[in-house]
Structure 1
Amino acid sequence: MKNINPTNTVAWKKLHNHFFDIKNIHIKDLFNLDKNRFTNYSISFNNEILVDFSKNRITKKTLQLLLDLSKECYLSDAIKNMFSGKLINKTENRSVLHIALRNKLNNKIIINNLDIMFSVKKELKKIKNFSNEIIKGYWKGYTGKNISDVVNIGIGGSHLGPYMVTESLKAYKNHLNIHYVSNIDGTNIIEVLKKVNLETTIFLIASKSFSTDETISNANYLKDQFSFKTNSINYFSKHCFALCENTSSALNFGIHKKNIFKFWDWVGGRYSLWSASGLSIALSIGFKNFELLLYGAYIMDQHFLNEKLSTNIPVILALISIWYTNFFHTETEAIFPYDEYMHVFPDYLQQSFMESNGKSIDRNGNLVTWNTSPIIWGQSGTNGQHSFFQLLHQGTNLVPCDFIIPSISHNPINNHHEKLLSNFLAQTQSLAFGNDFYINKEKISNDFIKNKNSFYKFCNGNKPSNSIILKKITPYSLGSLISLYEHKVFVQGIILNIFSFDQWGVELGKSVANNIYHDLFCNNLHKKYDSSTIGLLKIYKKWNNL
């Protein structure tokens, strides 16, 4: 994989000059100049997803220069390297192969002289057999009762991925109740345990290393509750399961060997929903639907691998994002799914983008002088319109947005979906074109003189957005959508010359927290802390009589 400073490329320098030519052009002018702009700036994917990027501050020249940038950064080679299992996660000396988890071609993928597809298929078969046993009632709890509830205990990717998918696919949910515990705040696990009966609940402890503090702390609390409330040595073998890479730690914890579902070091936590970490998904919607989720992702993988860059959806969306973050210097991007089932999707993408590309050191080991990941935020449906959309329309911040909606609703009551779609379309149009005020100081001045209130209604428009319409939210289409965004993250990391698959900033916080935890129980606070941290610790110890 080439390590190229993007700002030293010919294309970057041309983009810099091009920006000054285009920065004051309004989106409405771009539409006036090109009557076929929608057709020219939209891509259909497999009759399931339509991506419209016409409401962006870009021209054909912009796109061509961005594509030139991707070529100068050897993007195509990087894509092939990932799919072939090359060690592109250099800082951890690992391959990046979440794509193998949904590989339907049955092609061999060799790592350390072994075809990893053999173990992937073996683990998928184990997920299939177990999820079928639970759903059909063949697997009984320690008192002989059927399982009614599933509690997933994990954090980060072991939580957000499965939680997002089970929420997004609630229309496919079976009779099992799925719960999630992630926070180390005791309130989280206490409130979940109030909802379940230990006799009819299984617990999935999801941690790649099986040492994540939040997850293991919650698991240890559960262990105490099992001993106190069940008084049964059979409880663990009937109710407790590990989803991890580190099987020895799971065995030491007390998990029975047959209850360990494995995934591998080449699967990053935030890309693990396709693996055993997604067992709660298979239990929630059934294995056949889980397979469709994988298949939808696989089809998008093939598009990403084989489609030319100029019509490659993840590539185009990634390049547009780089255009805004590095030339317009936008700091955030907003994600708005107009489907209540997808309310967790913006949270999921927050981790995907910001943990992957929130870096300030490039692949050469130098501090970057360009912008890397935007801050990702958002909310579902029309809720945001009555909250922060005011800032999007009239604020001083430029916020590129992705609007996502299904054409067919799972709950088509009355005319609700038609109204939802109307709002979806109205927002993208209003952001792009503004209201009827002509952008001219004299005109605005005259309007202001005639009616002061009219001036405050002025919306300039020229605010960019992408519109993504899915035919329907299904396991297949959701799998494709998630895969699309995964590859968008990858493209941005390659071009911006950063390592997208480690998270050393997260590790720093864990290390410091561990030191502070131990010092909480010392009489003398360690001198290495700053005065603020020492002051806060003293107040905590005083109020808790420590």
Structure 2
Amino acid sequence: MRTERDWQSLIRHGERLRGTPLRTLVQADPGRAKAMALRVGPIYANFARQHVDGDADAALLDFARAADVEAALARLFDGGIVNVTEQRPALHSALRGDIGAGEPVAQARALVADARARMDALHAELAAGDVTDVVSVGIGGSDLGPRLAVDALKDFADGRFRVHFLANVDGSAAQHLLRGLDPARTAAILVSKSFGTEETLLNGAILRDWLGGGERLYAVSANVERAAAFGVDGARLLPMWDWVGGRYSLWSAVGFGIQLAIGREGFDRLLAGAAGMDAHARHTPVESNLIVRHALTALWNRVAMARPTAAVVPYDQRLALLPAFLQQLVMESLGKSVREDGSPVPVPTSPVVWGGPGTDVQHSFFQALHQGTDVVPVEFIGVAKPAHPHAANHRSLLANLLAQAQALCEGEDGDDPARHYPGGRPSTVILLDELSPNALGGLLALYEHSVYLQGVLVGIDPFDQWGVELGKRLAAGVRPALAGEGGVLADAVTAELVERIRAHAG
């Protein structure tokens, strides 16, 4: 566990560097651009515009070594207990490769092999019929990862199925989606580990009734009995396991919709890309490990530089959903205020993650990034090779990425205060050779492992999410009151709001 002295060392480095302009650090060292860059397969990351110097960088690496991050990664890959509050391993890496050893990993791989065979069989069954559209129904990790992958990899769609997603319990979402589909040519996949997720069951019931029964109803769940009671035949049920958290589950049968969208070969390439990043994380020394560098950069900005938010800006429309995916991955994993031993965390934990696709967001929130009172670290993501023939558009897209990162760092002096750009705004640039299944798999695995190590460095459990449960429990008590079925609402504000809603609901 980190001591107060450990944290104070990093914080002092941060306080020291606030007096040195970021552009001075960058301009004073011509070799910095190459020295602070790392490549893993099709992914290149440049950290040269982060507000660190050699002494701060050495302190960060010492901090990582003191936390024994290499041993922490070994525990993750070898099936050790890393979800401390629930006493579970987190074996999502076993879904996609052979990194790691130990009995839990071997058992997991056997289950994964069986699940993949069942996915292939159901894929073939659907392909042999007249289904053209598949609706994947889930929420949170059962939706965000698969939705992102299908959207990002649309250029690799094999054309057999159109895959759609339904998450929000708002009935308008279901109504608008189904309006454009034919129930005779549509199938649905309900994704819920417990098969008790309210949003998924309500939307699933709409799909079941719209389809005219359960004949083309599939499910991914750990609860066979509840799925059967809902009307899902056991032959159309794919498994989920406790050792895979929802936000790490797109690599499992939860990604059945991804396989349907881009084919078995495309899904295999997605898994292989993640496995390549797993191998890098497990076997690369701390000083040249991209996972470690990414995690330390996030820790530096949140703790040493006291930056409460972090922006993610992909300069590729196909990655427009990445900020939403990372909101869950980062904020659900790191949004904790107590350490694994129950003691308070002595430093800030999760930043507020937000963002959107460039160049759109240059015309919305970049004004605040350049001249606002808060300094927001930005992660820019670009793709070198496009999947379209419009070369001028792509050059403009990447020119804007590079120029915005430069402008945020360097700023520009001027006599007119309204036209003064203070600069000093840190950023990281991540470049993909192309947005392929392999590259996307590696990118998402990079973020997964970085978040895990951030939890290790702070001493919190990044795999539980108890904070989302309280609101769910309270909602169960509010629903009867909204339906006019009585019930006592102890909270006067909630009671007043229920009264107003019922008065105008019709």
Q: TM-score, normalized by length of structure 2?
A: 0.97
Q: For residues 52 and 121 of structure 2, what CA distance do their matches in structure 1 show? A: 50
Q: Post-superposition shift, 1:7?
A: 4.4
Q: Deviations over 1:183-238 (max 9, x none)?
A: 110011111111111111110000111110000111122233334xxxxxxx523x
Q: Deviations over 1:485-518 (max 9, x none)?
A: 0011101111111111111111111111111112
Q: Which amino acid aligns with 1:120?
A: V
Q: Deviations over 1:377-399 (max 9, x none)?
A: 01012011111100000001110
Q: Deviations over 1:393-448 (max 9, x none)?
A: 0001110010001100001314110111110100000001012x2xxxxxx6xx3x
- Match of residue 45 from structure 2: 51
Q: For residues 235 and 450 of structure 2, what CA distance do their matches in structure 1 show? A: 37
- Equivalent pairs counted in the alignment come to 505
Q: Which amino acid aligns with 1:534?
A: A
CA contact (8 A) 1:293 1:479 kept: yes
Q: Say which SS state the counterpart of residue 285 (structure 1) adopts.
A: helix
- Match of residue 120 from structure 1: 112
- Match of residue 94 from structure 1: 88
Residue 500 (str. 1) matches residue 428 (str. 2): no
1:201 equivalent among 168, 186, 202: 186
Q: For residues 36 and 99 of structure 1, what CA distance do their matches in structure 2 show? A: 35
- Match of residue 459 from structure 1: 421
Residue 75 (str. 1) matches residue 69 (str. 2): yes
Q: Which has the larger radius of gyration?
A: 1
Q: For residues 149 and 168 of structure 2, what CA distance do their matches in structure 1 show? A: 19
CA contact (8 A) 1:525 1:534 kept: no
Q: For residues 387 and 381 of structure 1, what CA distance do their matches in structure 2 show? A: 10
Q: For residues 357 and 321 of structure 2, what CA distance do their matches in structure 1 show? A: 8
Q: Say which SS state the counterpart of residue 407 (structure 1) adopts.
A: strand
Q: Say which SS state the counterpart of residue 380 (structure 2) adopts.
A: strand
Where structure 2 has 5 or more consecutive residues not aligned to the other structure, the ranges are: none
- Match of residue 269 from structure 1: 246
Q: Which amino acid aligns with 2:145?
A: G
Where structure 1 has 5 or more consecutive residues not aligned to the other structure, the ranges are: 141-145, 228-234, 438-443, 448-453
Q: Say which SS state the counterpart of residue 326 (structure 1) adopts.
A: helix
Residue 171 (str. 1) matches residue 149 (str. 2): no
Q: Deviations over 1:6-65 (max 9, x none)?
A: 342x4322222222321121122112321101111101112x111000011001211211
1:110 equivalent among 103, 106, 109: 103
Q: Post-superposition shift, 1:368?
A: 2.0
Q: For residues 164 and 264 of structure 1, what CA distance do their matches in structure 2 show? A: 22
Q: Say which SS state the counterpart of residue 362 (structure 1) adopts.
A: coil
CA contact (8 A) 1:132 1:287 kept: no
Change (3 A) 1:224 1:410: same
- Match of residue 320 from structure 1: 297
- Match of residue 441 from structure 1: none
Residue 17 (str. 1) matches residue 4 (str. 2): no
Q: Post-superposition shift, 1:109?
A: 4.4
CA contact (8 A) 1:151 1:180 kept: yes
Q: Deviations over 1:449-508 (max 9, x none)?
A: xxxxx3311001110000001100000000000000001110111111111111111111
- Match of residue 27 from structure 1: 22
Q: Which amino acid aligns with 2:184?
A: E
Q: Which amino acid aligns with 2:169?
A: I
Q: Which contiguous aligned blocks of 4+ residues in structure 1 show a shift greater than 4 angstroms?
A: 522-525
Q: Say which SS state the counterpart of residue 20 (structure 1) adopts.
A: helix
- Match of residue 280 from structure 2: 303
Q: For residues 357 and 419 of structure 1, what CA distance do their matches in structure 2 show? A: 36
Residue 60 (str. 1) matches residue 38 (str. 2): no
CA contact (8 A) 1:108 1:115 kept: no
Aligned-residue sequence identity (percent) comes to 34
Q: Post-superposition shift, 1:110?
A: 1.8
Taking the TM superposition and a 5 Å limit, the aligned residue runs for 1:213-292 are 213-227=198-212, 235-237=213-215, 239-292=216-269
Taking the TM superposition and a 5 Å limit, the aligned residue runs for 1:310-459 are 310-435=287-412, 437=413, 447=415, 454-459=416-421
CA contact (8 A) 2:133 2:185 kept: yes
Q: TM-score, normalized by length of structure 1?
A: 0.90
1:528 equivalent among 490, 493, 502: 490
Q: For residues 355 and 65 of structure 1, what CA distance do their matches in structure 2 show? A: 28
1:490 equivalent among 452, 476, 479: 452
2:37 equivalent among 33, 38, 42: 42
Q: Deviations over 1:327-384 (max 9, x none)?
A: 2211110011111111101111111101111111211112223100101101012011
Give the aligned CA root-mean-square deviation in angstroms.
1.6
Q: Say which SS state the counterpart of residue 415 (structure 1) adopts.
A: helix
